[in-house]
Amino acid sequence: MRECQNGFMPSESPAFETPVHVGRPNLGSIERFQELAGQALERRWLSNDGPLVRELEARIEEYLGVAHCIAVNNGTIGLEIAIRALDLTGEVIVPSWTFIATAHALRWLGLTPVFVDVDPSTHCLDPDAVRRAITPRTTGILAVHLWGRAADVESLTRVAAEAGLPLLFDAAHAFGVSARGRMVGSFGSAEVFSFHATKFFNTIEGGAITTNDDDLAGRLRLMRNFGFAGEDRVVSDGTNGKLNEISAAMGLANLEHLDSIIDVNRSNYERYARALDGVAGLSILPIDDRERGNYQYVVALVDPSCPVPRDELLDRLRANNVLARRYFWPGAHRMEPYRTLDPSAGLRLPNTEMIADQVIVLPTGTAVGDAEIDVIVRIIREAVGSA
C-alpha cells in the first residue's frame, strides 16, 4: 500500500462507492413537480410572469410574512437588481467571508466592495467593525446571513440607521430562518434569496427579492423585466431577471415539503453534533434553537489544537468519496480581482482569516441518512485518533 503525501495510508477502496456530496439537491414530490410542469407545458406559457411564478411569489410572501416577493432567475441577478434599485454607488460595506457572488454583484455594477470582518462566533458581519468602516464614501451595507442562521439584524439595523445608509441582506442561506421572532426576508431595505439547486429549498435555478417597501418593490419589478411597464412601454433601465415556469413548478413542489426537509436537516445536524462531541480540536458550529433554522449546513471547525490539520482531514474524507468542502476558502479578499486591488486586506480581517483555515462543511440534506453520517463520523474519528 502506497503512503500519501499527507502521511495517511489510503484504504484499498473508499468508504463510499458513490460520492456523498455537500449541496446535493433536495427534492420534494417529483410527481407534484411533473404535474405542475405539465400544466405549464399545456398552457404553453413558460416565462414572462406566468401563473406558477405568481403563485410561488404569493406563497413565499405568506410564508415569510412580507409584503412583496419578486422572483428572479438566480440570486446573483437578484443582488444586482436590488443594488441598482437602491441606487447604491461608490463604496459598499460587505463581508469577505461569503460566496464570491456577493462581492462580484457589487463590482459588476461598478461599485467598490469594502471588506469588513465578521464575528467569530456567528461568522456574520461584526456590527462594531461595520461602524468603524463607514466613511463619507460609503453608500450602503450589504450584510450576509450565513449557514442557515441570521446575522445580527438588530445591531446592523441600528448602525445603518445611525449612518443613514440602506441595509441590504444576502439571504442565500437563510430561507426559513427567523431572527428576533421574525422571518428573514423582512429586514433591511430588501433581502435576496438564492434558490439554486444546492440550497435546501430550490427552484432548480432561481431566487427572490423580498421587501416591505411598496415603492422599492415597484422598481424591482420594472428592473426585473427590462424596465417594461406594459406592452411597448419602457420606463426605466432593467435587465432580464425573470424566473421561468418550470423552475417555479419545482419551487411550488418543494415548498409543500419544506418542513419535512428541515426536519431531516435538523436530525442530521444533531446526529453529527452528538457523534463528534469530544473529538480533540473539532467542534460543530452551534445553531441557536431559540430561533427557527433551516439547518442547511453542518459546519465543522478544526482548530489548531486538532491533531490533524484541516486540509489533511479534508483529504482523508475525499479519499473516501466524502466530498466535504472548505467554504468559502480562502475568503473573497484573497480571490481576484480583490487580491490584486487590496493585497493587505487580510490584515484588517483577522477573524475571517482564522475561520477560513478552520471550516469544513459536511454533507447533509435528504440525500444523506444516519448510515452515511455514521461512516463519515468514523472516518473523522479514525483520522484524528490515528494522528
Pairing of strands 167-170, 190-194: parallel
Per-residue pLDDT of the chain (387 residues), as tens digits, is 233 434 444 446 888 888 888 888 889 899 999 999 999 999 999 999 999 999 999 999 999 999 999 999 999 999 999 999 999 999 999 999 999 999 999 999 999 999 999 999 999 999 999 999 999 999 999 999 999 999 999 999 999 999 999 999 999 999 999 999 999 999 999 999 999 999 999 999 999 999 999 999 999 999 999 999 998 999 999 999 999 999 999 999 999 999 999 999 999 999 999 999 999 999 999 998 899 999 999 999 999 999 999 999 999 999 999 999 999 999 999 999 999 999 999 999 999 999 999 999 999 999 999 999 999 999 999 999 887
Task: Say what the pLDDT of residue 22 is.
Answer: 86
Residue 106: which of 137, 142, 73 has the closest Cα?
Answer: 142
SS3 142: strand
CA angle 9, 15, 21 (to 5 degrees): 115
Extents of the domains making up the chain: 30-255, 258-386
The torsion angles phi and psi of 135, rounded to 5 degrees, stand at: -130, 175
CA angle 93, 223, 211 (to 5 degrees): 60
Q: Tell me the three cell numbers of residue 176.
A: 426559513
Beta bridge partners of residue 140, listed in sequence order: 92
Task: Say what the pLDDT of residue 288 is.
Answer: 86
Task: Say what the pLDDT of residue 15 is.
Answer: 82
Residue 307: which of 368, 384, 230 has the closest Cα?
Answer: 384
Q: Are 52 and 40 in contact (CB under 8 A)?
A: yes
The DSSP output letter for 198 is T
- The CATH architecture to which 30-255 belongs is 3-Layer(aba) Sandwich (3.40)
Q: Tell me the three cell numbers of residue 31.
A: 410527481
The CATH classification number of 258-386 equals 3.90.1150.10
Task: Say what the pLDDT of residue 387 is.
Answer: 72
Q: Where are the alpha helices (DSSP H) in the chain?
A: 30-43, 51-64, 75-85, 100-108, 127-133, 153-163, 214-224, 245-255, 258-276, 310-319, 338-341, 350-356, 370-386
Beta bridge partners of residue 190, listed in sequence order: 168
Note the Cα 117 to chain centre separation in Å.
Answer: 18
Taking the alpha carbons of 342, 345, 352, 188 in that order, is the dihedral positive or negative?
A: negative
Residue 77: which of 247, 253, 234 has the closest Cα?
Answer: 247
Preceding omega of 330 cis (within 30 degrees of 0) = yes
Using the structure block, give the residue that is written with the C-alpha cell 446573483.
76
How many residues appear in the chain?
A: 387
Taking the alpha carbons of 40, 42, 46, 49 in that order, is the dihedral positive or negative?
A: negative
Residue 177: which of 210, 202, 155, 147 has the closest Cα?
Answer: 147
Nearest-angstrom CA–CA distance, 109 and 202: 26
SS3 60: helix
Nearest-angstrom CA–CA distance, 373 and 370: 5
Exposure b/e, 8-41, CB count within 10 A at least 16 = b: beeeeebbbeeebbbbbbbbbeeebbeebbeebe
The DSSP output letter for 251 is H
pTM, to two decimals = 0.94
Task: Say what the pLDDT of residue 12 is.
Answer: 62
Q: Are 363 and 322 in contact (CB under 8 A)?
A: yes
